[in-house]
Structure 1
Amino acid sequence: MNAPSGASGYDAVVLGGGVAGCVLAARLSEDADRSVCMVEAGPDYGAEPRHWPHKVLNARALPRDDVWERHTAVHRIRARVLGGSSCINGCWNTWGSATDHEEWVRAGGPRWSASAMERHRLRAVEQMGLRAVPERELSLWARAALEAAEELGYGHVAMAAPGRPGFGTPLINAVDGVRWNAAFAYLDAARQRPNLTILSQTTVNRLDVRTGRVRGVELDVDGRRETVVADTYLVACGTFGSPALLLRSGIGPADHLREFGIRTEVDLTGVGANLSDQPGIFVPLAPTPDLNAALAAKEASGNLYVSRMLIRAASDLCPDSSWDLHILPSAGAPLFGSLPPGQYEAGISAFLMKPASRGHVRLRSADHSEPLDIDPAFSTDPDGHDIAVLRSGLEIVERMAVSAALKPLAGAAQGHPSRDLSDEEIRSRLGAYWHPVGTCAMGQDDDPWAVVDEEARVRGVSNLRVVDASILPTVPAANTQLPVLTVAEMLADALRTDGR
């Protein structure tokens, strides 16, 4: 639908149509007496998969058309389409460790424990139709990697449930190569509800905040300024977009707001701070002719996926029974660039899952159309924790590469062994796992950096909540799609209970 002309009133407005926004809009509109409006800056391709672009549906690749910035640094990539990151990610769903829940409980209380969140996790798994990786999607490389993990002494674990270190395959939101995104899973059944309005191609400019309450939200529709009003405002613009919206609305560090002539409505130091993402380093290997031939045959059958297994691994700095690394073998078409027909990229990545370093999201302008200042500050912690854990990951990668299962399929690439890289060389080769969190972090009343409370209510604003990955005070030792789905399910329940 197009945005209405003039002011329109709703019980709730959801700002952002990504993973969390789709959950909120679907769950809140189940109450026929509650009017809900969801606003998404990107396109809504509709309820029928046949109307969606092939690139978005293709679960074998990572589409980069419906994003905020193209041809940008990898850590800045974020979706701009109904369904959000579930339309451009790898369709992987894993779960974090007991340590994650301990951190979250300290910030948000018992509702954030593993046991309390379990029913919401199971509900998200069911609603998204998450399924195990089919045998036919395991390439020669993936099968060998599973054997190599066992050879290294890891046991098999369920990746999308609470557990321990080990190896296995994720649950996936894809069927026969078709990416089943959150818009399909949550909104298809809700689209016909008369109490749900979906505004696509509509950008959120700012919230009108006065005397501790949101009075309306200013939208940009084809260059026109429109206003929507509601009883409750739910910000779900993601780890980059949500703090930016709060800042443009006068909610954030007063000194930063003054730089851009924005009047401070609520001085909250933590808005845009505490950015945490999972950096990693890819160790390339040289595929043998036999591996290239096997991958080509798999591609011809339509079942070639670059990665289908991983290891949860623990460095010496990791708490007992937890993990702080994902070891990710991959083989297939390169993520960036291209190779001649019949040739493929192979290698193993080590991703740091529990970084100590913290970055930021800040404004460069009060204009919502201007790019943001986003700095993940990878591996900048003064104690050297992050580099030390990454080195542990590289050691595991090197042992895996020379395992009896993998060594016959790919040899060492040219260059120095990864173990010989200096700290600066490691930093220069870091990529992102695309799981940023923390820029509107949850915390207790005495935490000066806290932006929201345990039910995602923004401090100092009575009718405003943030519900997305930005409220997680620490990143889980997992891919973040399933945790965000679970958090949105949990907080949608809280909203229903509150009646707001």
Structure 2
Amino acid sequence: MHDVVVVGAGSAGCVLAERLSRDPDRSVLLLERGPGWPYAEVTDLYHLPVGADAATVGRTVSYPVSPPDLAVVRGHGIGGSAAVNGAYFLRWHRDDFVSWEHPIADIEAAYAEVESVMSASPFADDELPDAARAFEQWWGALLPTRPVGERWPAVGVNRIHSNSIRDAAGGRRVTTAEAFLRPALGRPNLTVRTSTTVTALESKGDRVLGVRCDTESIRCDEVVLCAGTLGTAAILFASGLATGPLRVVEHREMLVHYRLRHSPGRPTPLLPTVAHTASGCEIRCYGGDFADYIDGVPPLGPAIGVAAMSPGTPGTLVWDGATLTVDLGSAPDLPARLAPELDQVQDMLNSGDFRGIIEPGSVRVDPVVRTSQHASGSLPMGDRTDRFGALDGVHGLRIVDGSILPPGGRSGPHATTVMVAALSS
């Protein structure tokens, strides 16, 4: 019998397993439903293996989604979604934490630790394509520009920090699996099992006693669910510990496309720089056409994204007794909400700052309301869970992943999810 079973070897689970197993008297079992360690095609920073035609089959899983023209994809295997994403590792704003029970000094220390361990650093000036430099110049005339090395973002121009190693050999994502879990694999009190699906929790009364897998039940003193917002919700529904739809927050986005006059001639980061507006939007200067990064995506031209971050857009997780569906709604009001920022982006692309960079007359707004793949906050701290992820009214269980993030964060959730895992261990 293990002391702790951690479910999910993704961004949070790898941190929890490493931190908890530092105590040699505590036995930790880490379970992952997907395959083992990611290989070079997966870790390549300039390639996102999430498309339908990706050669890296088996590293992602798709969920049923409404509306059906959207796609909701999550990482599958050791490293989780962080093994297949754009390696964006930006903190939330400092004042996004005013209602948290954790002291801001503890939050800052946890951020600093995980940033150091995961080699998180800002993209340098010479890593930016010409469009990103023009983007920073244009927005810098309207908003403050944060120093490139500043760890805390704010309203203004913010250079993206990336959990990656960029050198002469190329670019490689650094996940919590590589940074935290791999150095701990030699510990005799830590066991890692892949290709093991947890279908439900074993409980008696208000106490969780262990997990039920495909072929066996595993008893333990504590279960920590780190299966990601969607995976954790499915386990809770199957265990009878979640009833009715669970609310989530997504960051829906619209794109403004354009055509470059000249190819950058080298790989560029997916998202090197952003502007955060006082209205709660994130203006994203993508490094190129999504077709350059994702296999099977039709080429539509490079894009500037406008995403609603705070408040985010609501969605629900619905369980039909066997399958989890992500209902994000049609967001009919979002185009009007984003209209001022979309107008600014078009003004920017048609300005003198972009003369010589883009083809005249190529700027167009894509009417599709997309998703950032950021659904989180189904069991937020201070509402359904405490600051360490304990679910109200249930003993022997904690939840430590994007499920427990409160709403209101003005950056993507990845860095904050990893930070919370460090705080919760």
TM-score after normalising by structure 2: 0.89
Q: Does 1:437 align with 2:376?
A: yes
Match of 1:470 in 2: 403
Match 2:281 to one of 325, 329, 337: 325
Alpha-carbon distance change, 348 to 357 in structure 1, aligned in 2, over 3 angstroms: closer
Alpha-carbon distance change, 14 to 165 in structure 1, aligned in 2, over 3 angstroms: same
Instruction: Note the alpha carbon deviations across 1:418-450, whole angstroms, 9 max, x for none.
Output: 4xxxxxx95xx111122211112222xxxxxx3
Q: Does 1:390 align with 2:338?
A: yes
Residues 159 and 168 in structure 1, CA contact (< 8 A), matched pair in contact too: no
Match of 1:126 in 2: 116
Alpha-carbon distance change, 127 to 378 in structure 1, aligned in 2, over 3 angstroms: farther
Match of 1:37 in 2: 29
2: CA distance between counterparts of 1:307 and 1:407?
Answer: 21
The letter of the residue matching 2:356 is P
Which region of structure 1 is more displaced relative to structure 2, 244-253 or 74-83? 74-83
2: CA distance between counterparts of 1:179 and 1:153?
Answer: 30
Q: Does 1:285 align with 2:267?
A: no
Q: Does 1:362 align with 2:301?
A: no
Match of 1:376 in 2: 328
Alpha-carbon distance change, 452 to 153 in structure 1, aligned in 2, over 3 angstroms: closer
Match of 2:268 in 1: 304
Instruction: Note the alpha carbon deviations across 1:162-214, whole angstroms, 9 max, x for none.
Output: 34211132111111311111110011110010000001011111001221111
Alpha-carbon distance change, 74 to 57 in structure 1, aligned in 2, over 3 angstroms: farther
Match of 2:351 in 1: 403
Alpha-carbon distance change, 98 to 338 in structure 1, aligned in 2, over 3 angstroms: closer
Match 1:204 to one of 198, 203, 222: 198
Q: Which runs of 5+ in 1 are unaligned?
A: 1-8, 46-51, 257-271, 316-323, 419-424, 444-449, 493-500
Instruction: Note the alpha carbon deviations across 1:210-263, whole angstroms, 9 max, x for none.
Output: 21111221112xxxx11111101100111111111111001122xx4xxxxxxx
2: CA distance between counterparts of 1:27 and 1:439?
Answer: 25
Q: Does 1:178 align with 2:172?
A: yes
The letter of the residue matching 2:273 is M
Which region of structure 1 is more displaced relative to structure 2, 236-245 or 331-340? 331-340
Match 1:155 to one of 126, 142, 145: 145
The letter of the residue matching 1:67 is T
Larger radius of gyration: 1
Match of 2:290, SS?
A: coil
- Say what the alpha-carbon RMSD is for the aligned residues: 2.4
Alpha-carbon distance change, 158 to 280 in structure 1, aligned in 2, over 3 angstroms: same
1: CA distance between counterparts of 2:190 and 2:271?
Answer: 38
Match of 2:249 in 1: 276
Residues 56 and 87 in structure 1, CA contact (< 8 A), matched pair in contact too: yes
Higher helix share: 1
2: CA distance between counterparts of 1:276 and 1:475?
Answer: 9
Match 2:421 to one of 488, 492, 497: 488
Residues 359 and 378 in structure 1, CA contact (< 8 A), matched pair in contact too: no
The letter of the residue matching 2:173 is R
Match of 1:265 in 2: none
Residues 285 and 347 in structure 1, CA contact (< 8 A), matched pair in contact too: yes
Instruction: Note the alpha carbon deviations across 1:46-81, whole angstroms, 9 max, x for none.
Output: xxxxxx433211100211241112898655111111
2: CA distance between counterparts of 1:114 and 1:91?
Answer: 25
Match 2:184 to one of 176, 179, 190: 190
Residues 210 and 222 in structure 2, CA contact (< 8 A), matched pair in contact too: no
Alpha-carbon distance change, 331 to 127 in structure 1, aligned in 2, over 3 angstroms: closer
Deviation at 1:141, TM superposition (A): 2.1
1: CA distance between counterparts of 2:298 and 2:388?
Answer: 49
Match of 1:164 in 2: 154
Instruction: Note the alpha carbon deviations across 1:444-485, whole angstroms, 9 max, x for none.
Output: xxxxxx321222111121110100011112151112111011
Match of 1:120, SS?
A: helix
Residues 63 and 326 in structure 2, CA contact (< 8 A), matched pair in contact too: no
Q: Does 1:214 align with 2:162?
A: no
Match of 2:54 in 1: none
Match of 1:438, SS?
A: coil
2: CA distance between counterparts of 1:71 and 1:377?
Answer: 13
Instruction: Note the alpha carbon deviations across 1:360-406, whole angstroms, 9 max, x for none.
Output: 1122333xxx4x211123636xxx5x544412321221222123222
Match 1:456 to one of 365, 368, 389: 389
Which region of structure 1 is more displaced relative to structure 2, 184-193 or 353-362? 353-362
Residues 330 and 348 in structure 1, CA contact (< 8 A), matched pair in contact too: yes
2: CA distance between counterparts of 1:281 and 1:127?
Answer: 34
Q: Which runs of 5+ in 2 are unaligned?
A: 51-56
Matched residue pairs, number? 408
The letter of the residue matching 2:327 is D
Deviation at 1:159, TM superposition (A): 8.0
1: CA distance between counterparts of 2:84 and 2:320?
Answer: 26
